[in-house]
Structure 1
Amino acid sequence: MTIINGESDARLAVDAAQAGAAVVRDLYGSRLERHEKSAGDFATEADLAAERAILDVLRAARPEDAVTGEESGRSGAADAHRRWLVDPLCGTLNYAVRTMLVGVNVALRQGSEVTAAATADPFGDEVFWTDGDTAWVRGHGADERLTPSAGSALVDVNLDPPFLHAPGFHPARLLADPGFGARFRPRVISSTLAVAWVAAGRRAAYVTDGDLRDSVHFAAGVALCRAAGCTVTGLHGEPVLTGADGLVAAADADTHAALLDLVKKQEAQTR
């Protein structure tokens, strides 16, 4: 655990995520201006304000660190060893239509490893966090160790494009596979808060396509799952966060293997 000026990186990640979550709560339900991005994507004033609050916390404590924010982009040296990855409001469309399924993600990448991370649930009053070695959930002033479990059989699947492996793999076809339905129950909350739920035993797994390198959306959740003892790879078993390989984060090796088999089966059917 890295400690600078008396404060650990993990504690800083928690503080920053909580600062962003406070803004998200405070602005919930108000009329928020939308800032269009691309391909139908947009940010609200809550996204922008939450990111400012997070960056204020990080820069006050670690002024030399580089940062990548979803809304403000990259700052600091391009090859910085320490880089914070910030997603101030994951689930913007949910939030914009007054659905309380969102997360606030803060992660620190040192070299090639994420060594501290936090995902805050603004409306559940919880923050899931890791120091890179162990994973916890903080609620009501106490920390509880995260314990993955596949018992729910609930698998969250990201249905938001782009689908980089289509037509070989498409998440909608995964849900339609009889083998998936025989073993799992699908869920789609449209927020990476669900990745933290895998680490916490509230989901059996999470599946997404996409390029996850330096992902502000997924870095925190992946770090939580790894530290909690989940099985985490790309769609084909590759090391995650290293390329355009997507993500299969599962509570245990058996669940993970079953999902990889379903992905492999789907791709074989398109050849």
Structure 2
Amino acid sequence: MTDGAPAALPPDPVQLADIAVELAGRAGALALRYQEAGLSVSSKSSVTDVVTDADRAVEDFLRTALAELRPADSVIGEEAGAAELTGAPVRWVLDPIDGTVNFVLGLPYFAVSIAAQVHGETVAGCVFNPASGELFRAAAGHGAFLGDRRLTGPRSVPLDEAVLTTGFNYDPARRARQGRVAGELLARVGNLRRLGSAALDLCTLAAGRVDLYYEGPLHEWDFAAGLLIATEAGVATSGLRGRPAGTHMVAGAHPERAEEFFGLLTELGVADIG
């Protein structure tokens, strides 16, 4: 910047959310075309951690589109890793298909997840389920929406009436420990759902379709957009033991139930599994 020149304005979260929405719709349509044509499936970290040719094609599409629209930005995605640029105004966090196992099996609970970060903070996000056509979006300070409906978070009900959703790790030993904790939780909450997409689980919480959520460890692309949508809907979130929600743990609840729920998770050792 030269002397006397005005400082560059920070990126507008609403405009970034609009980009995410537009690209998510096109990416979702591409994913469905691959699904209809027949998928090529392989595994990554374990036999249960699967990837398809659609995952890679969708991420390639998103990276190419972002390079055209915003060439100065950085990108990190599940399949191709990071393309970090020094001084980039925005960092995009991509999960081309969150819930790949559901996608492969034809279960209609998977999503394209796109988040935009400025100075390490997520300021815009979109989670799109191509199977249902539901599109969740948020821009920091502007609320969260499902289509045109503003989201206001989960119910405030006693834990023994609350419906909880969670997910399990691909590593068999860690998954076994998570299963034991989930079994203990079943005796303390109303019921449990395991739906298969962290991004959509957070949106489902934001929409009030479930009352509680926890999962960890996670990758940033699993939760970045969904976490913003949940917090913009008024969900209280935590990483447990005084930490903010992040890669180690993401937990969420109605603010009136958060302290009790987070305390229960800590008591049962959820924060120690990762």
If the TM-score is normalised by the length of the shorter chain, which range does it land in? Answer: 0.7 to 0.9
Distance 1:79 1:197 in 2: 35
Counterpart of 1:18 (choices 5, 14, 25) is 25
Counterpart of 2:257 (choices 242, 255, 258) is 255
After TM superposition, give the deviation of residue 135 of structure 1 in Å.
0.8
Distance 2:94 2:240 in 1: 24
Q: Matched residue pairs, number?
A: 255
After TM superposition, give the deviation of residue 162 of structure 1 in Å.
4.9
Percent identity, please: 25
Specify the alignment match of 2:221 in structure 1: 216
After TM superposition, give the deviation of residue 49 of structure 1 in Å.
1.7
Deviations 1:235-257 (A, max 9, x none): 3341122xx5311022x123322
After TM superposition, give the deviation of residue 78 of structure 1 in Å.
5.7
Does residue 67 of structure 2 align to residue 59 of structure 1?
A: yes
Q: TM-score, normalized by length of structure 1?
A: 0.84
Deviations 1:38-90 (A, max 9, x none): 22223111111221222233222111100001111111326645210000001
Distance 1:162 1:195 in 2: 22
Counterpart of 1:245 (choices 235, 244, 248) is 248
Letter in 2 for 1:181: A
Deviations 1:82-123 (A, max 9, x none): 210000001111111221110110001111210010000111
Give runs of aligned pairs for residues 37-76 of structure 1, distance below 5 A. Answer: 37-40=44-47, 41-76=49-84
Give runs of aligned pairs for residues 1-271 of structure 1, distance below 5 A. Answer: 2-3=11-12, 8-40=15-47, 41-77=49-85, 80-133=88-141, 134-138=143-147, 143-150=148-155, 153-162=162-171, 170-177=177-184, 180-192=186-198, 193-212=200-219, 215-241=220-246, 244-250=247-253, 252-267=254-269
**Secondary structure of 2:226's aligned partner:** helix
**Secondary structure of 2:37's aligned partner:** coil
After TM superposition, give the deviation of residue 26 of structure 1 in Å.
2.0
After TM superposition, give the deviation of residue 170 of structure 1 in Å.
4.2
After TM superposition, give the deviation of residue 190 of structure 1 in Å.
1.2
Deviations 1:123-150 (A, max 9, x none): 1111100111211111xxxx11112122
Letter in 1 for 2:257: T
Distance 1:163 1:263 in 2: 21
Letter in 2 for 1:59: A
Letter in 1 for 2:225: A
**Gaps spanning 5+ residues in structure 2: where?**
1-9
Does 8-17 or 37-46 show the bigger shift? 37-46
Distance 1:137 1:29 in 2: 26
Q: TM-score, normalized by length of structure 2?
A: 0.83
Letter in 1 for 2:249: G
Q: Is the 8 A contact 2:46 2:170 kept in 1?
A: no
Deviations 1:188-209 (A, max 9, x none): 0111211111111111121112
After TM superposition, give the deviation of residue 224 of structure 1 in Å.
0.6
Q: Is the 8 A contact 1:15 1:57 kept in 2?
A: no
Distance 2:58 2:102 in 1: 16
Distance 1:200 1:186 in 2: 17
Deviations 1:126-183 (A, max 9, x none): 1100111211111xxxx1111212268221111124599x69x943233222x64343
Q: Is the 8 A contact 1:157 1:171 kept in 2?
A: no
Q: For the structure 1 residues 67 and 163, does the alpha-carbon distance in structure 2 shift closer, same or farther, using more than 3 Å as the test?
A: farther
Relative to total residues, which structure has the larger helix share, 1 or 2?
2
